[in-house]
Homo-oligomer: A and B are copies of this chain.
Amino acid sequence: MANRQIVLDQLPRDRLSPDHFRLTEGPTPEPADGEVLVRTRYISLDAANRAWMQGATYRSALEAGTVMAGGALAEVVESRADHLKPGDFVFSDTGWQDFAVLPARRLAALPDLKPLTHLLSVYGVAGLTAYHGLLECGRPKPGETVVVSAAAGSVGSLVGQIAKILGCRVVGIAGGAAKCAWLKDELGFDEAVDYKAGETRRALRAACPDGIDVYFDNVGGEIFEACLFNMANHGRIACCGAVSSYDGPAPPHGPRGVPGLIVTRRLKLEGFVVSDFADKNPKALSDLTSWVADGRLKVQEDIIDGLENAPAALIGLLAGENRGKRMIRVA
């Protein structure tokens, strides 16, 4: 079988472009003892894909000339491990290719869910990131004001809805009037601030007259700064990502007022990676499942067909094209 692969041909020095990638074909690998051969079904596109190109993060930096790394929902085709059989679904870093051989040790068969794509969105990294980051780092109390950036994105759209379920007042920051209207009309956010309209700091002040108690930060940079200046005393910032600084040389200077405002307003900033809270996943998945079932949590997915479209889809995601969880349907 042919194994199409998208290779990260060179590391970007500034903005990522399609020229940094190359589509090629490699052999389909054979699993050894303790390994499985999987077919990539859906590739998760994430801002973090770009951050990995800047240098070491919570994983080692990507290297030029290798298959582009990325998490995916994959189906076991051939198994040489006892706990997995053909037809099982797993989530793993398969890379951007049709087939991959993976060590079975760290893989677990995922539950059979409809639609399958929810395993990449609400029940996958996006949903768990939203849930754990908000509850463990943000720790919102009912009645508090929660602000989330990249609010129409995969994580942000869930953070805002979960905060509403928890009884908070929720303000989303997103780019463009259409996304803002969607946040309020479809997802039930109390307010939405369009950062492309400018004057974000002032607009936030109007939307959060008593200050921000919890800011869930997906973007860093100027929006982080605008939120920082509007934090209430003893506010908490859950640091989830910094997409505004990923698509360029790393790392830029931080927001103004750091650390000054952290001190005077007694803020708490906490960075996290979703795997830190793996022990709390059962409770998270139980909550998420019941909220989806009773219609309180709406799941927006943005599915693009074709492995060959992954580079353009990632570049579009970095530019804020998507609404909800973007993924590539490979097979």
Q: Which residues of A contact B (CB under 8 A)?
A: 51, 57-58, 217, 220, 224, 237, 239-242, 245, 250-273, 276
A269 and B259 in contact (CB under 8 A), knowing A253-B253, A254-B253, A254-B254?
A: yes
Task: Determine how close the nearest CB of chain B comes to the CB of A147; give it in whole angstroms.
Answer: 15
A220 touches B260 (CB 8 A): yes
Contact partners of A276 in chain B: CB under 8 A: 266
B57 touches A259 (CB 8 A): no
B264 touches A254 (CB 8 A): no
B257 touches A251 (CB 8 A): yes
Contact partners of A258 in chain B: CB under 8 A: 220, 254-255, 258
B251 touches A254 (CB 8 A): no
A242 touches B266 (CB 8 A): no
B251 touches A261 (CB 8 A): yes
B242 touches A260 (CB 8 A): yes
A268 and B266 in contact (CB under 8 A), knowing A252-B256, A253-B253?
A: no
Q: Of B242, B253, B259, B262, which one neighbours A263 at CB under 8 angstroms?
A: B242
B255 touches A263 (CB 8 A): no
17 pairs, A vs B, C-beta closer than 8 Å? A57-B263, A239-B262, A242-B259, A242-B260, A242-B263, A251-B256, A253-B253, A253-B256, A254-B258, A254-B259, A261-B271, A262-B269, A262-B271, A263-B272, A268-B268, A268-B269, A269-B270
